[in-house]
Structure 1
Amino acid sequence: MPVDAPPRQPSIPADDVVVVFRTQNSNIRGRLVRLGATLDAIVAPHAMPELPGRALSEALALAALCGSALPKNGNLNLMVRSDGAVSILVADYAASGKLRGYARFDAEKIQPLTQAAARPDIASALGSGHLAITLDSGPGEERYQGVLAFEDAALSGTVAAYFQQRENLPTFIRSAVAEQYVGSRQDPQPQSRWHWRAGGLMVQSLSASTEDGGADDDDWKRVEMLAATVEDHELLDPGLTVERLLLRLFHEEAVSVERIIPLSAFCRCSREKVENVLSAFGAGELSDMLDDSGQIVVTCEFCTKRYVFSPNELRETGS
């Protein structure tokens, strides 16, 4: 009698993906993110200095890790407001697997940081502030927002502390960001060959740790120690497959993949939406918005797309 072959595991893309997994022996849920072209499509158009570019890249990786834990139709907004050189970070994860984000920064505050250190860390760029995570589980569900203060803390550590303090879920997160050089160094335009990459690993105990150090607590501590051995280059290297990395980290825990979520860049802006916003302003206010060429130019903070309107267009819309 012929025997059916066991079902094949779906292949996991090398980049732009969140992989949801579970450790069978310890029952710990985890997620691993790899971002390449999708991240570059979001960050590169902003033409930011390296420091805010790294901060935004990390925020997007963290939004993907956290947002992928929501139900299929869930959405997540991660926002950081700080008194540092990078004053605002916004990263959106929209169902399912769509990302967008932007950063605001003060170039004058960035300069002394780069003079003090060849590669200043993101924590120094953020300083002190607040992290807000807004969760929307989907249609018919109530939105929830949690806010956590931080001071000179790593962004990944602040997100992990949010889940630990606000959700009472033991959480470990490590993230890594880099610019990758692609192409020949004899390229006449070398800057066009640098591309943003990011990766991240998040593991969580789905139940709070027991006060007496019971079995659940032991399992969590063991998996957390294994997760902490991951290196930045392992999170970033597309040549190291996700399957191989998970096996390298958790082979004693019998790790299994539960979901594979492709990631892509998106934006909600449109000419119609911008036009509707402008139509709410009076003639005097619109006149103040005119540039030297006599037009109104609106640039989307997320995707940097420019929308150009003439006063006549807006008058016709408002009539």
Structure 2
Amino acid sequence: MQDIESQLGELGFAGDDMVVPFQVDALDVRGRTVQLGPLLDTILSRHDYPEPVARLLAEVVVLTALIGTSLKFEGKFTVQTKSDGAVDLLVADFATPDALRGYARFDAEALEAAVVEGRTEPEQLLGAGILAFTIDQGSYMQPYQGIVQLDGSSLEDIATTYFRQSEQIPTAVRLGVAKLFDRDDNGERRESWRAGGLVAQFLPQEPERMRQPDLPGGDGDDGELSHDVDDAWNEARALVETIDLDEMTDPEVGAERLLYRLFHERGVRVYPAQAVYDRCSCSRDRILGVLKGFTAEEIDESTAEDGKITVTCEFCSTAYEYTPDEVKKA
């Protein structure tokens, strides 16, 4: 751990695809920030998603990296949407210690219609549904799942609601996605995806200071605050809200410089960064284990004209081939 002012004067910034934990003692705030570059570009380019879909999935991947890397045990953290919109499924998961992956499913015709009609805001593409956060500690532990309604809010706001409902910790979330354009060594135009995010949480020593105003209950509830929000958290939240999209995605800014811009007047400390990698958990044996549950009829229906059963991983697009006899003997 070191003071960020000292770190800014040294070499060795965390760089892309590294989650940086931080702490602002004067405001009783702890959090994590990240900029995803090559990792995210690989995940999105692998499926050649349309731009509106890529942007949505990028936000989910960033959110998963920020929360997943906070796990203190061996397990998996998953963020998943299920909805009735043109983009009906977004899923990303983080498997300890450092494996991150993501996938999106969408209706091409519905997406095209939405783009033509100008309905390309995230809440419009997702529609009505749920956002689920799942923590799985393995076969000997019951998974924990927190569910938040997709109510037309941004993913930032929905994630904030999740923390408020499930962990009852005052939390601020910022997410940003950008497509960058440059030229390669031959002068050819190229594009790449980047994204960044920050999660800040108010964790004072006195738990009563964490108390938050009640959520509006509807049915005429005017939503007025029932008590004052802690001044330290008010300040921290206001600072986080000043973050621009460019700051979160610009490789010249980086995680440490962003934190310095936000909290230098209060003093901010950073902890060793944690790398995340584009790693899928699929394998030939795992998929074979799923296929062995097929009936003889299902095996026959899955066998192509070349006599093979081919299964392609939705996440990493790796194709696995099996013979019917291989599956029946499994």
TM-score by length of 1: 0.87
**Is contact 2:14-2:20 (8 Å) kept?**
no
Distance in 2 (CA, whole Å) between partners of 1:15 and 1:73 is 24
| Equivalent residue runs for 1:1-319 within 5 Å | 11-117=12-118, 120-136=120-136, 142-184=142-184, 193-206=190-203, 207=207, 208-209=210-211, 212-213=227-228, 217-315=230-328, 317-318=329-330
How far is the alpha carbon of 1:272 from its aligned partner? 1.4
Gaps of 5+ in 1: 1-5
Output the amino acid matched with 1:242.
A
Distance of aligned partners of 1:307 and 1:182 in 2 relative to their CA distance in 1, 3 Å threshold: farther
Distance of aligned partners of 1:308 and 1:58 in 2 relative to their CA distance in 1, 3 Å threshold: same
Deviation digits for residues 130-186 of structure 1 (CA, Å, limit 9, x no counterpart): 111112467976532111112222112111111112221111111011222242497
Moved more, 274-283 or 101-110: 274-283
How far is the alpha carbon of 1:50 from its aligned partner? 1.3
Deviation digits for residues 273-319 of structure 1 (CA, Å, limit 9, x no counterpart): 2122222223321111123433211011111111122334435x34x
**Is contact 1:267-1:303 (8 Å) kept?**
yes
**Is contact 1:70-1:137 (8 Å) kept?**
no
Distance in 2 (CA, whole Å) between partners of 1:19 and 1:74 is 20
Output the amino acid matched with 2:76.
N
Distance in 1 (CA, whole Å) between partners of 2:299 and 2:142 is 37
How far is the alpha carbon of 1:111 from its aligned partner? 0.9
**Is contact 1:14-1:239 (8 Å) kept?**
no
Distance of aligned partners of 1:301 and 1:213 in 2 relative to their CA distance in 1, 3 Å threshold: same
Tell me the SS of whatever aligns to 1:86.
Answer: coil
Distance in 2 (CA, whole Å) between partners of 1:68 and 1:272 is 27
**Is contact 1:78-1:92 (8 Å) kept?**
yes
Distance in 1 (CA, whole Å) between partners of 2:245 and 2:31 is 17
How far is the alpha carbon of 1:72 from its aligned partner? 5.0
Output the amino acid matched with 1:225.
A
**Is contact 1:71-1:137 (8 Å) kept?**
no
Distance in 2 (CA, whole Å) between partners of 1:276 and 1:71 is 29
**Is contact 1:181-1:194 (8 Å) kept?**
yes
Tell me the SS of whatever aligns to 2:271.
Answer: strand
Output the amino acid matched with 1:175.
L
Distance in 2 (CA, whole Å) between partners of 1:314 and 1:138 is 26
Distance of aligned partners of 1:61 and 1:140 in 2 relative to their CA distance in 1, 3 Å threshold: same
Percentage of pairs with the same residue:
38
Tell me the SS of whatever aligns to 1:92.
Answer: strand
Distance of aligned partners of 1:84 and 1:229 in 2 relative to their CA distance in 1, 3 Å threshold: same
Q: What is the root-mean-square deviation in Å for CA atoms of aligned residues?
A: 2.4
Deviation digits for residues 178-197 of structure 1 (CA, Å, limit 9, x no counterpart): 22224249766x5xx32221
Distance in 2 (CA, whole Å) between partners of 1:286 and 1:72 is 38
**Is contact 1:15-1:34 (8 Å) kept?**
yes
Moved more, 171-180 or 9-18: 9-18
How many residue pairs align between the two structures?
Answer: 305
Gaps of 5+ in 2: 213-225
Output the amino acid matched with 2:172.
F
Distance in 2 (CA, whole Å) between partners of 1:314 and 1:229 is 56
Output the amino acid matched with 2:89.
I
Distance in 2 (CA, whole Å) between partners of 1:253 and 1:95 is 33
TM-score by length of 2: 0.85
Distance in 1 (CA, whole Å) between partners of 2:138 and 2:237 is 30
Tell me the SS of whatever aligns to 2:273.
Answer: strand
